[in-house]
Amino acid sequence: MNKKIAVLGGGTGLSILLKGLKKFPVDITAIITVADDGQSTGKLRKEFNIPAVGDIRKVIYNLSDIVLILLVT
């Protein structure tokens, strides 16, 4: 049975932490804040009156097994 870990927060630090934790045999629960007001997320949040999705996107990507490959031609 895997240990269970819950993390709370947002920002770059949380997504990097989760990227490292996924390498261990643990069950991860992440609660991500949606109050980000920096850079483009803050602009989208103000303009469209929506929750900040940038941190959620980063966490989903870092917890996934997808490898991003950039091809330059």
Rounded Cα distance between 50 and 57, Å, is 14
What pLDDT is attached to residue 23?
92
What pLDDT is attached to residue 37?
66
pLDDT exceeds cutoff 80 at 70: no
What dihedral angle (degrees, nearest 10) is formed by the CA atoms of 26, 31, 37, 41? 70
Is residue 40 in a domain? Answer: yes
Is residue 10 in a domain? Answer: yes
Structural domain range at position 35: 3-63
Q: Based on the structure, what is the number of domains in the chain? A: 1
What pLDDT is attached to residue 1?
86
Is residue 69 in a domain? Answer: no
What are the start-end ranges of the E strands in the chain? 3-9, 26-32
Residue 17 to residues 6, 10, 31, 48, 68, Cα–Cα distance (Å): 12, 11, 13, 30, 19
